[in-house]
A and B are shown apart, each in its own frame.
Chain A
Amino acid sequence: MRLSLLLMTFGGTLAQSSVVPSLAVVGVTPDLPLILTALLALRRGPEAACLVGFALGLLQDAAGGGLIGVQAATLALTGFAMGLLPGRIWVDHPLVQVPGLVLLTVAEGLLRFGLLQLFHFPAALGDLLMHVILPQALYNGFLASAFLLAVEAAHALRRWQPWI
């Protein structure tokens, strides 16, 4: 389990910096570390999501060359909060998961903006929302829909042909 979390952390970081840029649409890329943290939160609970989110964020900060600790804090907090949801609201249905991921991305963006404001980040919230946070949230939602459809198709195929 620890090895899988470690692989997920490093694999996610590498994929975000290597494969994901080639998926850019009009300069917008999905936030893979956030998606991984959210998935982990739903499956493994708040602690694992908090730790992996922290590690993913730290590596993203280190790789990105910005302030080290910003994404570490926001992803840890987002993962933890997401991990608490399954017991409180129904998050198993795709109709909840996809819009949930969109909202989560927006929330994480706002959180990151708030944290950066403490350190006198110069950009305006409106610009960030228009050009970074909302497009990325929509892209994450689209990616999550595609992923869930693929999983559903794989399950259907397995039900139809059980030996697969």
Chain B
Amino acid sequence: MRFGRYSLLIAVLLTSLLLLTVQTRGVGPTRAGDLVALALTPVQNLLTKVHRGALSVWTAYADWKAVRAENLSLHAENERLRIEALQARETDQENRRLRRLATLRERLPLTTLGGEIIGREGGGWARSLTVNRGRADGVAQQMPVIVPDGLVGRVVQVRAGASVVQLLTDPTSTVGAVVQRTRTAGLVEGEPGGGLRFKFMARDGAGVAAGDLIVTSGLGTLFPKGIPVGRVTAIEDKGSALFHFAVLVPAVDFARVEEVLLLTGQASHDVASLFTPDG
């Protein structure tokens, strides 16, 4: 058995040496070398082909891995940049809103209190916003609430740290108003559908047209004069009725209100000029 082992080793070594010898010796070796080449060239060719194939597969795999890793990294970067862009846009919009609010606050000839919206009620029965200012901040019932676009509503409930603001569109809300151009007086009421209408407009108050701006009349002691309420979109003429009314689109987009000013003081003169469309 042991002899068999060593004879295998010796045979293998001798074969190797023979191969080496026939390659390097010059005597009759060309033929021997040719024989070696003849036997090994097909194997070499095959190996080269397989090697090239394997190499190309390996390279393709490596490339694919690199591309995949790059793709994942680009995806992550894209996602991060998108979030950053959204955050920047959000901050930009907030800055713009706050700047408009601050400008209005500076111009207004009455004391105000800034607040943030922390809750919304949008059902048909009641339409309100909750502001993060309450009794502790000096908020009182019936306080008018505005934004740079116009009137939002009035405070109807005051709690310790928050207040509920009834929106103009609430069905129980009424505000004394006038048509800015014709000074036609009336009442702005909320509708269950979420719209506004300008009521009790006497028939002889004609001349009101679509596009007219309705502002607070300032006749009561509640709202200062001249705060934009809405704009006329249509006149509903009931024919024989004594009064007819105008359909309004609110000056304020209540769904987008995020910061408000609560008017803690009163002003006797018209503030309409302070409410420009760009704040």
A76-B13 contact in complex given A59-B47, A63-B44, A63-B48, C-beta closer than 8 Å: yes
- Residue A160 CB within 8 A of the other chain: no
A18-B12 contact in complex given A63-B44, A68-B36, A119-B20, C-beta closer than 8 Å: no
Q: Are A17 and B47 in contact (CB under 8 A)?
A: yes
Q: Write out, one digit per residue, whether chain B residues 1-39 have a CB within 8 A of any chain A CB (1) or not (0).
A: 000010011001101111110011000000000001000
- Determine which of A14, A17, A22, A70 lies in contact with B16 in the assembled complex, contact meaning CB atoms within 8 Å: A70
In the bound complex, residues from chain B placing their C-beta under 8 Å from that of A149 are none
In the bound complex, residues from chain B placing their C-beta under 8 Å from that of A47 are 5, 8
- Residue B51 CB within 8 A of the other chain: yes
- Residue A151 CB within 8 A of the other chain: no
Q: Are B12 and A69 in contact (CB under 8 A)?
A: no
Q: What residue in chain B is nearest A73 (Cβ atoms)?
A: B16
Q: Are B51 and A63 in contact (CB under 8 A)?
A: yes
Q: Are B20 and A70 in contact (CB under 8 A)?
A: yes
- Residue A51 CB within 8 A of the other chain: yes
- Determine which of B9, B15, B58 lies in contact with A22 in the assembled complex, contact meaning CB atoms within 8 Å: B58
Bound form: Cα–Cα A57–B5 in Å: 19
Q: Separation in Å of the A147 CB from the closest CB of chain B?
A: 19
A17-B24 contact in complex given A22-B62, A68-B19, A68-B36, C-beta closer than 8 Å: no
A59-B43 contact in complex given A50-B12, A73-B13, C-beta closer than 8 Å: yes
Bound form: Cα–Cα A117–B123 in Å: 98
- Determine which of B5, B17, B40 lies in contact with A62 in the assembled complex, contact meaning CB atoms within 8 Å: B40
- Residue A54 CB within 8 A of the other chain: yes
Q: What residue in chain B is nearest A65 (Cβ atoms)?
A: B44
Q: Are A18 and B58 in contact (CB under 8 A)?
A: yes
Q: Are A62 and B44 in contact (CB under 8 A)?
A: yes
User: Number of residues in B with C-beta < 8 Å to the partner?
Assistant: 25
Q: Are B17 and A73 in contact (CB under 8 A)?
A: yes
- Residue B54 CB within 8 A of the other chain: yes
Bound form: Cα–Cα A55–B132 in Å: 85
Q: Are A51 and B8 in contact (CB under 8 A)?
A: yes
- Residue B55 CB within 8 A of the other chain: yes
Bound form: Cα–Cα A21–B23 in Å: 28
- Residue B85 CB within 8 A of the other chain: no
- Residue B50 CB within 8 A of the other chain: yes
Identify which of A22, A51, A72, A118 gathers the most chain B CB atoms within 10 Å of its CB. A72
Q: Are A17 and B8 in contact (CB under 8 A)?
A: no
In the bound complex, residues from chain A placing their C-beta under 8 Å from that of B55 are 17-18
Q: Separation in Å of the B151 CB from the closest CB of chain A?
A: 69
Q: Are B43 and A69 in contact (CB under 8 A)?
A: no
Bound form: Cα–Cα A19–B145 in Å: 74
Q: Are B47 and A76 in contact (CB under 8 A)?
A: no
What are 23 inter-chain pairs, A to B, with CB distance below 8 A? Answer: A14-B50, A14-B54, A17-B47, A19-B54, A19-B58, A22-B58, A50-B12, A51-B8, A51-B12, A54-B16, A58-B40, A59-B43, A62-B47, A63-B51, A67-B23, A68-B20, A69-B16, A69-B19, A70-B20, A72-B15, A80-B8, A80-B9, A119-B24
